[in-house]
Amino acid sequence: MSEKVRHPEKINKPINPIKKKPEWIRSKIIDSKVFFQTKQVVNKNNLVTVCQEANCPNITECWSKKHATFMIMGDTCTRACAFCDVKTGKPNNLDVFEPAKISTAVKNLNLKHVVITSVDRDDLADGGSEHFYKVVKATREKNPSTSIEVLTPDFLRKGDAYKKILKADLDVFNHNIETVPRLYTKVRPGARYFASLELLKNAKIFNKKVFTKSGIMVGLGEDKEEIIQVMDDLRFADVDFITIGQYLQPSVKHHPLSRYYHPDEFKELDSIARTKGFLLVSSSPLTRSSYHADEDFRKLQDARNKQLECHQHQ
């Protein structure tokens, strides 16, 4: 039995058998040497990555390209979302050396783009926004040419705490909506759908230069019309970039997978999202928030430049 206990509060919940994965959901390793080099940097700096903690299906491919998503403020979340494989419990104190560790790892991996995320820290008065700010600031100082993306919690009931992060020199502000509003009480009980929308909307208002981004998982029991409504809601919040990926049930104690979407369905959702006016859309079975984030950032820049050119010629 694994020493890592996940979600002890789920022990008495029903068993949800895991459906066999279809042939189109397969992770791949591109360069095993680079994969282990990335792993060495992560281990040497004693860092936590969402790639490992959330059992991301793309870890082998991403680490083979020196792409790692750093998870700050520990490996223990104060919430227990039914879809997530990160452990829940009482977190440890913040690591004051973490900003230096993250910035050094980014330097050692020679990252052109870095994604920094975190667990929910409802135990902290500011939800950890000050710590986020310090990590981004240290990373920017040591890596001036690296583009920085943050994937943040919702800072529910933390007032204007989120603004501290947006005062840092970052390029992309990402907060995932995760699912449709009808499923929030079951899938994301500690969060509020409209609070997440408000966060994304306010982030863009507060810092108009930053790209805003959000993601949704499919296969949790939603229907097509609900997904389209989420797209509309995100565009109303002026979100630039939407990611749509397949929910993969981590264990029998997690929220049941309703079904696997076919790649053609993801292409259809991609087309629909583009008609809504997003600058960029990423929709595929293995799409995740930070999957191909570096390439996507360049695409975002190109899309914004084209948009500005169009406005100038009007």
Q: Which domains, from first to last, does the chain contain?
A: 28-313 (3.20.20.70)
Q: What pLDDT sits at residue 14?
A: 66
- How many whole angstroms separate alpha carbon 75 and alpha carbon 119? 7
pLDDT digits (tens, 9 = 90+) for 30-39: 656 666 666 6
Chain centroid offset of residue 81 CA: 14
Q: What pLDDT sits at residue 4?
A: 47
The whole-model pTM stands at 0.86
Q: What pLDDT sits at residue 49?
A: 62
94 half-sphere exposure, CB direction, 13 A CA radius: 23
- How many whole angstroms separate alpha carbon 155 and alpha carbon 178? 15
Q: What pLDDT sits at residue 71?
A: 87
Q: What pLDDT sits at residue 82?
A: 85
Through-space distance between the first and last CA atoms of the chain, rounded to whole angstroms: 64
Query: Which residues of the chain register pLDDT less than 50?
Result: 1-5, 8-11, 53
Q: What pLDDT sits at residue 175?
A: 97
Q: What pLDDT sits at residue 124?
A: 96
